[in-house]
């Protein structure tokens, strides 16, 4: 597809040596890693770095990646997990600090995480994914037919990515012109809902996918929350200094509903989800240069009460996103593996199925953030 650059395998391999490969001798048989990124590491998913010095590629199906042998769990901070899983972090991730860090740091981490405590099988952190599923997708961003012949230079861009390329000052009356329809999102959400056989399922599409309905929904009963829409970073549109998700715009805007679900509004949703899936662009981005890791939309959902998220590091291509996210949800809803393990499996399956989608732009943006728990099948 036009616009995609050849992936620089050689440079990525050199980076991987500095960040990960040169330390493998210390890891032993550890395959699952907890990552608390900082600075530029917020935008570099370790699973997408190559493990050998191959040729630069568009078809990257022959390249070996970190994802093939390793599972990565991301956390916003050490405090995040210390508060939620103080007694079983080390056991759950098989993470032994004493071989990897100085004794002084080991002592601190042990006191925080209880890494030396013995934990029985019954005490291990497990969850059963609720059959109650919430999904929002395909917001009504369709222009009237009389305007459908008007195509701008950004039309292909808007249809390809789940975000925009327009920094004009935001005007609610122009939202359908700024954003295009989210291709494949309706099928993504409806397919995902079928994996959770519950009368409590709620799916909001097109004209129902509004900010008003979101704010009037009781999210506490949903253990899986899924948004498939456009996502935007803070400050990308002039005058809007919060990240947001795009909803179906109202005919007349108000303080309650302007078509954009902002970070501060997400914080007030009172969620209780085991996982929130943000199938959109840049949902894992930091709020600003002074904020810590996952300080934007991810932080908003954590504050609202959710335990973990699937978020993206950059712009995501809509068709591959639909395929990867659907595969991920299907996998974790029907097996006994953790969320991070299922993301790992889904990415490897995705890469193998079609060489044309093996370039990292199609599969690498997504990372798992939060409490990675063993999932008991609900089926």
Total domains in the chain come to 1
Predicted confidence band at 38 (pLDDT cuts at 50, 70, 90)? confident
The whole-number pLDDT of residue 113 equals 34
Predicted confidence band at 13 (pLDDT cuts at 50, 70, 90)? very high
pLDDT tens digit sequence for 321-342:
999 999 999 999 988 899 999 9
Report if residue 358 sits inside a domain. Answer: no
Report if residue 331 sits inside a domain. Answer: yes
Tokens 């917001």, residue? 139
Please tell me the distance from the alpha carbon of residue 26 to that of residue 37, in angstroms, as a whole number: 20
Report if residue 79 sits inside a domain. Answer: no
- CATH value at residue 144: 3.40.50
Domain hosting residue 186, numbered range? 130-338
Report if residue 183 sits inside a domain. Answer: yes
Mean pLDDT of the chain: 81
How far is the first Cα of the chain from the last one, in angstroms, to the nearest whole number?
39
Report if residue 279 sits inside a domain. Answer: yes
The number of beta carbons lying within 10 Å of the beta carbon of residue 354 is 12
pLDDT exceeds cutoff 70 at 127: no
Q: What is the 8-class DSSP label of residue 4?
A: P
pLDDT exceeds cutoff 90 at 115: no
* Maximum separation of any 2 CA atoms in the chain, in Å: 70
Predicted confidence band at 184 (pLDDT cuts at 50, 70, 90)? very high
Q: What is the 8-class DSSP label of residue 159?
A: H
Report if residue 151 sits inside a domain. Answer: yes
The whole-number pLDDT of residue 120 equals 37
The whole-number pLDDT of residue 339 equals 96
Please tell me the distance from the alpha carbon of residue 44 to that of residue 139, in angstroms, as a whole number: 30
Alpha helices in the chain (DSSP H): 9-19, 24-27, 78-84, 89-93, 103-113, 155-160, 175-178, 185-193, 211-215, 263-266, 297-304, 318-332, 339-353, 360-363
The whole-number average pLDDT for the span 133-153 is 73
Backbone angles phi, psi at 103, to 5 degrees: -60, -40
The whole-number pLDDT of residue 293 equals 66
Please tell me the distance from the alpha carbon of residue 196 to that of residue 130, in angstroms, as a whole number: 8
Alpha helices in 220-276 (DSSP H): 263-266
Report if residue 250 sits inside a domain. Answer: yes
Q: How far is C-alpha 45 from the geometric centre of its chain's CA atoms?
A: 11
Report if residue 11 sits inside a domain. Answer: no
pLDDT exceeds cutoff 90 at 134: yes
More confident residue, 130 or 33: 33
């Amino acid at each position: 597809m036009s616009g995609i650059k050849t992936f620089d395998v050689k440079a990525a391999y050199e980076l991987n040596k500095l960040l990960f490969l040169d330390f493998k001798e210390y890891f032993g048989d550890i395959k699952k890693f907890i990552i608390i990124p900082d600075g530029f590491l917020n935008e570099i998913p370790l699973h997408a770095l190559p493990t050998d010095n191959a040729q630069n590629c568009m078809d990257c199906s022959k390249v070996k990646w970190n994802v093939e042998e390793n599972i990565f769990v991301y956390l916003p901070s050490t405090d995040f997990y210390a508060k939620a899983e103080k007694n079983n972090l080390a056991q759950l991730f098989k993470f032994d600090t004493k071989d990897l860090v100085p004794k002084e740091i080991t002592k601190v981490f042990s006191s925080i995480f209880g890494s030396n405590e013995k934990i029985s099988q019954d005490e291990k952190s497990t969850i059963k994914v609720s059959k109650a599923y919430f999904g929002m997708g395909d917001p009504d961003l369709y222009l009237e037919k009389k305007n459908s012949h008007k195509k701008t230079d950004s039309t292909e861009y808007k249809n390809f990515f789940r975000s925009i390329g327009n920094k004009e000052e935001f005007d609610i009356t122009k939202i359908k012109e700024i954003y295009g329809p989210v291709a494949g999102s309706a099928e993504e959400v409806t397919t995902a809902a079928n994996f959770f056989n519950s009368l409590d399922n709620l799916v909001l599409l097109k004209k129902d996918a509004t900010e008003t309905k979101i704010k009037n929904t009781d999210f506490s009963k949903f253990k899986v929350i899924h948004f498939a829409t456009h996502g935007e970073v803070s400050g990308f549109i002039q005058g809007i200094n919060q990240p947001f998700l795009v909803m179906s715009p109202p005919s007349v805007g108000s303080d309650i509903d302007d078509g954009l679900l902002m970070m501060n509004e997400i914080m007030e949703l009172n969620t209780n989800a085991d996982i929130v899936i943000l199938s959109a662009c840049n949902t894992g981005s930091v709020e600003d240069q002074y904020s810590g890791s996952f300080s934007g939309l991810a932080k908003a959902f954590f504050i609202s009460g959710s335990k973990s998220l699937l978020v993206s590091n950059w712009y995501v291509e809509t068709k591959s996103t639909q395929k990867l996210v659907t595969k991920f949800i299907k996998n974790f809803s029907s097996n006994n593996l953790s969320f991070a393990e299922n993301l790992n499996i889904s990415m490897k399956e995705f890469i193998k199925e079609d060489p044309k989608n093996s370039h990292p732009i199609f599969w690498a943006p997504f990372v798992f953030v939060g409490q990675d728990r063993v999932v008991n099948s609900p089926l």
